Amino acid sequence: MDTGATSHLTRSSGNLSQMLRLTYPQFITVDNGHRIPIEGYGNTHTKHPHPPFSLNHVLYTPNIIKILISVRKFTRHNSVSVEFYPFYFSMNDLNTGKILTRCNSVGDLYPFTQFSDVKPHSPISLATISPSTRHNRL
């Protein structure tokens, strides 16, 4: 999960249901300033062992290195909060406060089980960025 990302990103179109191709070129700019083409977008959801969280308007960018989830969009679309701790993160139901899932961190990232139909249980990356880096993306 990326606290600075404004959109969800995937590098595999197989992750998306009914992917729509873009009719004109669009790009995202990553931390190092490179522009990566967006080829389409669609929706998906997480699968077992996690609750079925929805991910709407996920951008298909085959040249992206890691799959990213926008914390802002994810929490709003799923009515959850995300709490980051030094060695894990948890997702909690906003209405009940109940922990819905908890994932341990690995190295500097917070991996979350992939929602892919293509490769179930492959990791995606969760990260946070500084406000200055986020500002540079704009």
Q: Choose, from 2, 31, 108, 117, the residue flagged as catalytic.
A: 2
**Cα–Cα separations (whole angstroms), residue 23 to 40, 58, 122:** 9, 16, 31
93 is a catalytic site residue = no
**Cα–Cα separations (whole angstroms), residue 17 to 8, 44, 98:** 14, 6, 29
Which residue numbers are catalytic? 2
